[in-house]
Structure 1
Amino acid sequence: MPYRILFVCLGNICRSPAAEGVMRKHRPDLVLDSAGTSGWHVGEAPYDLMQQAALARGYDLSGLRARQFEALDFERYELILAMDRANLDRIEDLRPARCTSPVNLFADYAGQGISEVPDPYYTRDFDGVLDLIEAAAAGLSAAI
Structure 2
Amino acid sequence: MKRTAVLFVCMGNICRSPLAQGIFSHLVEKQQIRERFTIDSAGTGGWHAGNPPDPRSIAIAHRHGIDISGQSARQIHQADFEIFDLILAMDEDNLARLRASCPEQHRHKLHLFSHYASGRRESVPDPYYGSEDGFQTVYNMLFDGCISVLEKMGLGRAS
Quickly name the TM-score band, shorter chain normalised. Answer: over 0.9
Match of 1:72 among 58, 73, 79: 79
Identity %: 39
TM-score by length of 1: 0.94
Q: Gaps spanning 5+ residues in structure 2: where?
A: 29-33, 154-159
1:108 maps to 2:76:
no
CA distance in 1, matches of 2:115, 2:104: 26
CA distance in 2, matches of 1:57, 1:16: 16
Partner residue, 2:148: 139
Q: How far off its partner does 1:101 sit?
A: 4.1
Question: CA 1:112/1:79 → structure 2, altered by over 3 Å: closer, same or farther?
Answer: closer
1:24-103 aligned at under 5 Å gives the runs 24-27=25-28, 28=34, 29-103=36-110
Question: CA 1:100/1:10 → structure 2, altered by over 3 Å: closer, same or farther?
Answer: closer
Q: How far off its partner does 1:98 sit?
A: 3.1
Aligned residue pairs total 144
CA distance in 1, matches of 2:78, 2:119: 31
CA distance in 2, matches of 1:25, 1:66: 19
Q: Gaps spanning 5+ residues in structure 1: where?
A: none
Moved more, 87-96 or 102-111: 102-111
Question: CA 1:104/1:112 → structure 2, altered by over 3 Å: closer, same or farther?
Answer: closer
Moved more, 28-37 or 114-123: 114-123
1:12 maps to 2:13:
yes
CA distance in 1, matches of 2:93, 2:46: 15
Partner residue, 2:156: none
CA distance in 1, matches of 2:119, 2:144: 9
CA distance in 2, matches of 1:75, 1:112: 25
Deviations 1:67-103 (A, max 9, x none): 0012211101001000000000101111124334410
Question: CA 1:49/1:12 → structure 2, altered by over 3 Å: closer, same or farther?
Answer: same
Partner residue, 1:127: 136
Q: How far off its partner does 1:112 sit?
A: 7.8
Contact 1:74-1:101 within 8 A present in 2 as well: no
